[in-house]
Structures are given as structure tokens and as C-alpha cells.
Amino acid sequence: MKKMTKAMMITSAILLLSACSSSNEKKQAFINSKEQAKSNVSVTNNPFFKEKKEGKFEHLHGIGYADNQNAIYFATHEGLLVYQNNKWYETTSNKHDYMGFSATDDGFYASGHPEEGSSLGNPLGLVKSLDNGQTLMNLGFYKESDFHYMAVGYKSHTIYVVNQEENKTLGRGLFYSKDDGKTWSQSQLNGLPQTSARTIVAHPTDENMFGISTPEGIFVSKDNGNTFERFTRKLNTMTFVFQEKSILFAAVENNKHILIKQSLDSKQEEVLSVPSLDEKDHIIYIASNPTNEKEIVIATMNGDIFMTKNNGESWTRLASKGEYK
């Protein structure tokens, strides 16, 4: 990849497909308060979700354990999919093209585009759901910005966004907010190498800790992205996730896929097994169950999804090239 300045490095991203508009308008609106969120946020026995015996998705935009339900959410080009208790579910409405999907302990944050025919404007800006997609709150940038790169602390709720196009509030670069988007500060990015960024991740509880994966390893900041230090050894890292006391990351070394858990304190590495992957495929998303760190889900560029419940000792395939059943 071509080397860039820090500003260009953090604002460069792969272009993803957008949802289209339609004349068959679906009446949808934002809610204005937590009290307006739906009370039934479960997946089972909820008419907002229906079980899917089989299906296929395209263009994953994020995965995570939303709302402490022990259910894994997948943000796709056509709305949310959920895997819970060996069953797949899809939403019956609000099939938005969620970009920058970030699961939290009380729901999720996202950006992106409304579903085809929605009365909501495009792009969505920054939205939050407290009932797993049944309703959305507008936190800003509505009809103005689409954040493909976004990360939110699972419990801290510190929000980080990469702003690629200047808007009325933010210039270009990395910005963070600790008050649900009411105020924003720009990160200075000191200490980052002049290379491309792949994944941005916020620590689940430490409101100041933030990391970026690059072809030269993972760089971690303890001051909201103002200064960084290399955390891993020099590795071609693809993606990662913060656990409470460690970093779990996927990388390519000697043309082989590797998965490593590394302590935040001692930096000691634990190598986990990796399911069989095509050499040309790459792990692009990792999620770790906040209530059970031994349960891990990985998703690949080719649409393969695997889950382990024993820290990588064995893996179960949940989807193959986007097909699940």
C-alpha cells in the first residue's frame, strides 16, 4: 500500500455499497428518549425477530454481543441477523444498511443508510438503539455523514469516529465523544506509523483506551488517540478486539492465519487455534462474549463465520460464504 500522511491514513477506507431509495415509502421515525424504546428487547418471543431456517447475507459491516443477551449480532447490507441458542433470526423491519456497527451493554451504535423505501433520510448519521434495532435515536450528523469506521466502548460508551468528509461539526480525521455525541474532540494520532489503518477498537471499560490495527501491528493509545505506542510485535494484523485484560487479534505471519491473545499488562502471548481458512481469505471481524471470554466469533472476508466456546480448542462453522442454516 502507498504510504500516506497521518491524516490521509486514518481517513482512507474501503468504499462499501449503499442502500438504494424507493418510492414505496416505509414510515419510520427516530425516538427522542430512552423511555420511548421498546420494552421487549429479547430475540425469542418478540415479533420484531423471526427465525430463519436458512439464508444468505452479503457485506458484513460489524459483529458484536449487543445488550448482554449472549446473542451475537451481525450487521449486514440488509439489516441485522442474530445467532442465539443455535438458531438464526432476522428482523422483520428496520433492515437498514448499518455501517460502523458497535455493540454495547445497552444496545448498539451505528451509522449507514436507511433500508429501501424508508422515510428516514440518507445517510443516517450517528444512531443508537436501546432495543436492538426496533427503534433508533439520532445522536447527530443526520443526512450529513456516514461513518464506516466507528468504535464504541462496550460499557464506557466512548465513541470514536473516522470522519472522511468534513461536515458542519467535524473536520477530517479521528474524533471521540464521551457524552453520546453532544461534544467532540479530535485525536492527534501522535506515534502512529505512516501506513494504512484497518480496524479501530475501543476498550470495553477504560474510557481512554483505544487501538488501531495496521500492517505493522496494533498500536494502542491510553489518551483517546492522542498518542500511540506499538503494542504487538511487528505483524501484519488484520483485526482485533479488546477484552478486559487482553487483546485478541488476527494476523498473517509467513502466509499463515494466526489468532493471538495478548495480555495488556505483561504482553505475554497465547496462541489460539484457527479454523481452516483459504489462504486468500482474511479474518475481518472478531467478537468476544463480554460475559464469557472463552466464547469467540470470527468472520472472514469471504463470508465464513466460526464460533468457539472453549477459547479456540474447537470451532463450529456458522456460515459458509455468507450462507447459513
pLDDT at 24: 62
Domain 6-12+49-320 CATH (choose: 2.130.10.10, 3.30.930.10, 1.10.10.60, 2.60.15.10): 2.130.10.10
CA 12 to chain centre: 17
Q: Where are the domains of the chain?
A: 6-12+49-320
Task: For 181, list phi and psi in degrees, rounded to 5.
Answer: 85, 5
pLDDT at 12: 46
Which pLDDT tens digits describe the chain residue by residue (325 residues)? 344 455 445 544 333 333 333 346 899 999 999 999 999 999 999 999 999 999 999 899 999 999 988 999 999 999 999 999 999 999 999 999 999 999 999 999 999 999 999 999 999 999 999 999 999 999 999 999 999 999 999 999 999 999 999 999 999 999 999 999 999 999 999 999 988 899 999 999 999 999 999 999 999 999 999 999 999 999 999 999 999 999 999 999 999 999 999 999 999 999 999 999 988 999 999 999 999 999 999 999 999 999 999 999 999 999 999 999 9
Q: What is the largest CA-CA distance in the chain?
A: 57
Task: For 11, list phi and psi in degrees, rounded to 5.
Answer: -100, -5
pLDDT at 68: 87
Q: Which amino acid is at 53?
A: K
Q: Which of 216, 214, 220 is nearest to 235 (CA)?
A: 216
pLDDT at 6: 52
